[in-house]
Amino acid sequence: MKSLFIILFFLFNCQMSWYHTRVSKNEAAEIPIANTESVFGDSGTACFISSIKFQEVGATKESTLNLNPIIDTQFIENIRTNLNLKNKNTKHIKHVYGVPKFWPYLNELKSFRTNKSFDRFKQIQNLSMEPQYKKTLTKYAEFADLDTYFFTDEDILLSFLEFESCDTYYQFHYLKREKDNYNLVLFLITLGILPTANYENHYFTVYKRKANDLKPAIITYKFGYRRLISWLLLPTFNLFNEVENYNKDYRFVDHTKDQFISALENKHSQPLPIKHLNPVYGDVTGGMYLSDSELFKTQIPVDTRFAVIRDGKKNVSFYDPIHGLYKIQAVNVNEKINSDIITNGLEKTLKTFITTNLLDKVKKNYPKSTILHEIYTPEYRDGTYTFILEIAKPEPENDLFKKEYFVFSCFKSQSQIYILSRSLANDTSLDTLQKLAELNILDFYSQVTFQSKYIEPKPLDLDIAMNDGNKKSDTDEVDDDGEEDEEEEELVGSGGGVGGVTGTIDLGGLLSVLKERTYIPKTKLDIKPGRFQFNNSRFHTPKMNSSKFHIKPARTKNFSNPGKWRK
C-alpha cells in the first residue's frame, strides 16, 4: 500500500518546465528578447492607436472586421502610462472606423471631440431622432474625446495615415496562439517511460512608423513555455519547474500580456511576480471583472501587474499606484427611497442619500471634508448626480491639511442605486478640477456594463415600526470586524429604513487609501492593515445536507468571509 502512494507521488512530480521568449524584427530570425533594442527610443510625441469598429446599439449584423479583444483600450493605456518615457509626450488615439457613409448623425459623432462633459448628453436629448440613434450617440459620447477620430467606410485607408501632432505611431496586435504536444502517443503506450513534451506560444506584434512614412517596422514578440513530462524515470520533485501554475482567473495568456509590457519596458521579459486576480466573490477572466451579484461587469481600469483588488457581493475596488482608486457599488433601494423619489424627486433623493450615507460618515474621520462642484444631469441615465469630494487630511506634527479629491457619480436603475467613484490627482488645479472630474468619470462609465434587477420591496415590519426601527432580528449576526452580514444589508435613505436594516455605503477602498499616511481614530469604519489587497485563493463553501449542529441557511458563507482578506 505504501508503494502505491510513492508511485502516485512520482506521477505528480516528474516534469520540467521553462519559459521561451523570442523576438523578430521585420520577419527576420528570432533572437532572445534580452538582445533586442528599445522600441521607444525616438524623440517627439508618441501616439498609441486603439482601433475600434463602429457598431450601432441594437444592431444584429456583426462586422467581419472584429478587433481581437485581447488588445483592448485599457491594455494600451497601461502600456502608455507605465513606460519610462522621460521628457516625452504621449497620446492615446482612439480610432473608430467603419461608420456608414450616409449615417445621419456623423457630424454629431465628430462633435464629441470637443471638451468632454455631461453637457453633451443634454445636446443628444434635445435632438429629434429615433431612440436607437440616441442610444448609439450616448454610447460613443461616454468615451469620445479630443483624441478620438471617426472614419467612414470610404476613408478607412486614409484613416491610417496621419493624426494631429504625432511624430511616431505605435499599434499593437495579438496575432495567434499555438499549442501542441510531441510524442504523446508513445508516452501513453510506454506508460510514461518515454517522455512527452508540450508547449504553448502567444504572438504579439508592434507596428511602428514615423510620421509621413508609409512603411512600418514590424516587431513580433513570442512568449511561451516548454514542458517535459515523464513517469517514474525522471522524479524532479518540481525543482526544475519555472512555469507558474495558473488558475482559470489568471490564465497563461494574461501572463504573456504582462511579459509583453515588461519586454517593451526593456526588462528582458523576466517572469513577473504574479498576483492572482482571485477575489472572494467576483470572477476575473482576462481583463474583465464580473460581480458575484451579476449586477455589473467592468473592464479592470488599472494595471493588473500592480493592482490591488477588494470586493464584495455588490461592490469592488481597484487600485494601483499609477491610476489610483476606482470603485463600483450597487445599492439596493427600498420603499422608503422610492417614496422619497415620488415625493421629493430623484435629484433631491440622491443628494440626501449621499449626504446621509457617505458625506456624514467621511466627516467623522475628516471633519474638514466637503462637496465641491456638484452637478445633476437628468439627460444621462435618467438622472445622474455627480460631485467632487474634497477630503482634508491632517498633516502629522503640524496644523496643516493635505487635500485629496475624489469624483463620485450615482444614478438609479430599477431597484439599484449605482455609485461610481475614482481618485483624482492631488496636484490638480482648482480651475480645471471640474473638467478633469467629468472627463475621468465618463471614461469610467464607458468601461462598465450595468445589469439592473427588479427586487420586490420588503414589507414593513410592524414590530420594528413600533420600536422606531431599533429592533434587530434574531438571525442577524455581526462578523469579526463588526460589520453586518452583506446579504442582509440594505441601504436606505435618511430618516430610518423599511425592514429595519440600515446600512452604509462601503467606504473600504477609499478609507484604506486615505489611511496610508495618516492616523484614523479606531471606529466601526476602521480598516485593519492588509485588508486592501489581493485574495490569493478562493474557499469553496462545503455542501452540507444535514448537520447535528443545525447550521442555519446562509451561515456557511462565513467560511469565506470577505472580512478575512488573505494574501
Give 181-192 as a DSSP string.
EESHHHHHHTTT
CB proximity list for 407: less than 8 A, separation 6 or greater: 386, 387, 388, 389, 421, 422, 424, 437, 438, 440, 441
Domain membership flag for residue 494:
no
Mean pLDDT of 147-153: 88
Domain membership flag for residue 378:
yes
| Amino acid at residue number 390 | E
pLDDT score, position 170 = 92
Cα dihedral 111, 117, 119, 124 in deg (nearest 10):
50
CB proximity list for 501: less than 8 A, separation 6 or greater: 476, 484, 488, 489, 490, 492
Which has the closest alpha carbon to 287: 319, 316, 253, 262?
Answer: 253
pLDDT score, position 478 = 33
Q: Report the percent of the chain where pLDDT is more than 70.
A: 71
Q: Which of 166-170, 243-247, 255-259 has the lowest mean pLDDT?
A: 243-247
Mean pLDDT of 172-195: 88
pLDDT score, position 304 = 82
Start-to-end CA distance of the chain, whole Å, equals: 37
pLDDT score, position 4 = 61
Residue 495 vs residues 452, 472, 492: alpha-carbon distances, Å: 26, 17, 9
Domain membership flag for residue 465:
no
Do 118 and 438 touch, CB atoms closer than 8 A?
yes
DSSP structural state of residue 241: B
pLDDT score, position 112 = 92
pLDDT score, position 443 = 94
Each residue of 260-280: pLDDT tens digit?
888 887 766 665 555 556 667
Domain shared by 18 and 114, yes or no = no
Instruction: Give the separation between CA 479 and CA 562, rounded to whole angstroms.
Output: 10
Domain shared by 186 and 144, yes or no = no
pLDDT score, position 104 = 92
pLDDT score, position 560 = 39
- Which triple of cell numbers denotes residue 71? 488588445
pLDDT band at 236 (very low <50, low <70, confident <90, very high): confident
Q: Report the percent of the chain where pLDDT is more than 90.
A: 34
Domain membership flag for residue 103:
yes
Cβ count near 397 (within 10 Å): 6
Domain membership flag for residue 94:
yes
**Is the pLDDT at 136 greater than 70, yes or no?**
yes
Each residue of 498-557: pLDDT tens digit?
333 334 577 766 766 666 544 433 443 333 333 444 444 333 334 444 444 343 444 333
Domain shared by 399 and 516, yes or no = yes
366 or 272: whose pLDDT is higher? 366
475 or 283: whose pLDDT is higher? 283
Domain shared by 370 and 424, yes or no = yes
Phi, psi for 35 (deg, rounded to 5): -95, 0
Which of 276, 295, 325 is where one domain is finished?
A: 276
Domain shared by 371 and 516, yes or no = yes
Domain shared by 315 and 329, yes or no = yes
Domain shared by 386 and 318, yes or no = yes
Domain membership flag for residue 321:
yes
Mean pLDDT of 27-36: 85
Could you tell me what percentage of the chain is helix, strand and coil, using 3-state DSSP and rounding each to the nearest 5? 25, 25, 50
CB proximity list for 506: less than 8 A, separation 6 or greater: 312, 315, 329
Q: Which of 103-107, 114-118, 184-188, 269-273 has the lowest mean pLDDT?
A: 269-273
Mean pLDDT of 416-435: 89
pLDDT band at 488 (very low <50, low <70, confident <90, very high): very low
pLDDT score, position 521 = 39
Domain shared by 16 and 65, yes or no = no
Domain shared by 230 and 175, yes or no = yes
pLDDT score, position 212 = 84
Each residue of 312-352: pLDDT tens digit?
899 999 998 888 999 999 999 988 888 999 999 999 999 99
Instruction: Give the separation between CA 241 and CA 221, rounded to whole angstroms.
Output: 23
Domain membership flag for residue 493:
no
- Which triple of cell numbers denotes residue 137? 450617440
Domain shared by 73 and 6, yes or no = no
pLDDT score, position 513 = 67
- Which triple of cell numbers denotes residue 180? 501542441
Phi, psi for 421 (deg, rounded to 5): -150, 155
2 or 248: whose pLDDT is higher? 248
Q: How many domains does the chain have?
A: 3
Which of 166, 198, 221 is where one domain is finished?
A: 166
**Is the pLDDT at 483 greater than 60, yes or no?**
no
Do 55 and 257 touch, CB atoms closer than 8 A?
no
390 or 565: whose pLDDT is higher? 390
pLDDT score, position 308 = 86
Domain membership flag for residue 492:
no
Instruction: Give the separation between CA 85 and CA 81, rounded to whole angstroms.
Output: 9
Whole-structure pTM over 0.85, yes or no? no
pLDDT score, position 191 = 80
Instruction: Count CA within 13 A, CB hemisphere, residue 239.
Output: 5
Domain shared by 421 and 333, yes or no = yes
Which of 166, 188, 214 is where one domain is finished?
A: 166
E-strand stretches of 183-314: 196-210, 217-229, 283-285, 288-290, 296-299, 308-311
Each residue of 59-98: pLDDT tens digit?
655 443 344 467 888 888 888 887 765 557 889 999 898 8
pLDDT score, position 39 = 86
- Which triple of cell numbers denotes residue 203? 504572438
Domain shared by 270 and 157, yes or no = no
Mean pLDDT of 116-135: 92
Which range marks the domain in which residue 519 is found?
Answer: 309-457+508-528
**Is the pLDDT at 174 greater than 60, yes or no?**
yes
In this structure, what CATH number is given to the domain that contains residue 335? 3.40.1000
